[in-house]
Amino acid sequence: MAPQRGIDEGTAGGQLAVFLVELTRQTPVRELSDRFGRSSSTWGNYLNGSTLIPRQLVGRLVESFTPPGSTRNTKAVRGLELWKAAEAERRAGRSPSAGGELVRGRQRRDDALQQVVKYRAVAANAENHLAELRPMLAHTQSRLEHAELRLRLGDERERARAERRLGQARERLGRVRVQQELARRRRMTAEEQQEFWMAEVLSAQEEISRLEREVRDLVTVPPGPREPVRRDAPDAPDAVDDADFEARLEHITAEGLEDAALIEEDLQHLRPPPADPVQPLSGPALDKPALDKPATSGDRRLGQTLAWRRLVLPFPLLGVTGFLYWACQEAAFSRIGGWAVIPATVLCLPVLYGSLRATTVRKLPARIAAPLLHIAWSALLVLDQLPWPPPGTGAR
């Protein structure tokens, strides 16, 4: 059973004892004594933090109580760092507050590293799903095309059989496309989570550096983070039968649901940072939606309509503008002279501004360019009304 003496979690030795208790999962000290040697009282002192456990024994506990893989690597790194912090605290004889703060910083960094490793595995799993779904999608599309061809060429009985196969192929194609889209979204969310937790790792590392400068007597050399074991994507077979196809699709669907549940659980139960001098971090990657809303067919039709209007609408407006200026110019030469500037300003200037805006000119440049063009036209019209001498007659 667990030791009865209280554990001082404010010290590095207490943090190491808590780690050992969680690692051994409340295993009785008598069983630990039988498996790893030493007396039961010694193991009780190890688990309540009063005695520092030997370093090699920490490694044996990690190997015995954790499965192989990235989890064991993370536990081994964390246990080694906690043991070094406890050993340095015991040698230096410093106050427990500084050591506990340093251990909390290291624990925070290790938690962030563990999250990075986890989401790298999720991203790799999603990438494997995409690589496996691509040939399945191509195979399903070929089956669909073959079924459509047989439907066109077959007789009535063959037509009914082909229609049934066509329906099955369409349903399967829809399932494959759904799983492919879900895998893409899981990969996008996992990449955002990796960026967030890498920022958390960097922030924790800066805090650890600051604490190490304050506590100069604690000589600890934190080992670098270990890269997770990457799983290479298996080569997809060229030919897939129906039974293997359905089994693989069900397997991908189940793994996708597990990864989505893992991501959703982390998003809902994200723990706040501990109450210590470390500055709280914001989560920009978690504040925004992880998945973008896909565009509907109505949105696409609306975008196409707006683009078509933007292409076609400027030409009639420019034609109307030119016609209005021409009519005002003819009225000036035939009837009202220079007073044609007034109706031109009322009629032509708004249409000219609208034409510029329709040709994708911005608001401020259109407001400047339209009056300048109108003033230039008006000045030329007024100058044309002056009694100029005919061409070829100069002063003698």
User: Domain coordinates of the chain in residue numbers?
Assistant: 95-287, 298-384
Instruction: List CB contacts of 268: < 8 A, sequence separation 6 or more.
Output: none
The 10s digit of each residue's pLDDT in 133-155 is: 999 999 998 989 888 887 877 67
Q: What is the pLDDT of residue 224?
A: 53
Q: What is the pLDDT of residue 277?
A: 46
Q: Which of 123, 55, 117 is nearest to 90 (CA)?
A: 55
Distance (Å, rounded) from C-alpha 341 to C-alpha 257?
72
In the block, residue with structure tokens 């060229």? 238
Q: Where on the phi/psi map is residue 69: left (φ > 0), alpha (ψ -120 to 50), or beta?
A: left
Cα dist. 246→140, 142, 161, 194, 213 in Å?
A: 11, 16, 20, 32, 59
Instruction: List CB contacts of 45: < 8 A, sequence separation 6 or more.
Output: 51
The runs of H, that is alpha helices, within the chain are 12-24, 29-36, 40-48, 55-65, 70-92, 96-153, 156-214, 242-268, 284-287, 297-312, 314-331, 341-358, 363-384
Q: Which of 306, 129, 124 is nearest to 231 (CA)?
A: 124
CA neighbours closer than 13 Å in the CB half-sphere of residue 363:
0
Task: Give the total residue count for the chain.
Answer: 396
How many CB atoms neighbour CB 216 within 10 A? 8
Q: Which of 177, 196, 192 is nearest to 292 (CA)?
A: 192
Distance (Å, rounded) from C-alpha 9 to C-alpha 12?
7
**In 162-181, which positions are buried (b, 16+ CB within 10 angstroms) versus exposed (e)?**
beebbeebeebbebbeebbe
Q: What is the pLDDT of residue 186?
A: 87
Instruction: List CB contacts of 36: < 8 A, sequence separation 6 or more.
Output: 57, 60, 61
Environment class of residue 292 by beta-carbon count within 10 Å: exposed (0-12), middle (13-18) or buried (19+)?
exposed
76 residue type, one letter: A
Name the stretches of the chain with pLDDT < 50.
Answer: 1-4, 94-96, 221, 229-240, 275-293, 295, 395-396
Question: 2 with 47: CB under 8 angstroms?
Answer: yes
CA neighbours closer than 13 Å in the CB half-sphere of residue 174:
5
The 10s digit of each residue's pLDDT in 358-393 is: 777 888 888 898 898 889 888 887 787 777 776 665
**DSSP codes joined into one string, 54-116:** PHHHHHHHHHHHS-TTHHHHHHHHHHHHHHHHHHHHHHHT--HHHHHHHHHHHHHHHHHHHHH
Question: 76 with 56: CB under 8 angstroms?
Answer: no
Q: Which of 13, 14, 19 is nearest to 90 (CA)?
A: 13
Distance (Å, rounded) from C-alpha 9 to C-alpha 17?
8
Encoded tokens for 349: 């200037």
Q: What is the pLDDT of residue 297?
A: 63
Question: 36 with 57: CB under 8 angstroms?
Answer: yes
89 residue type, one letter: E
125 residue type, one letter: N
Distance (Å, rounded) from C-alpha 99 to C-alpha 347?
82
Distance (Å, rounded) from C-alpha 43 to C-alpha 27?
11
Distance (Å, rounded) from C-alpha 220 to C-alpha 106?
11
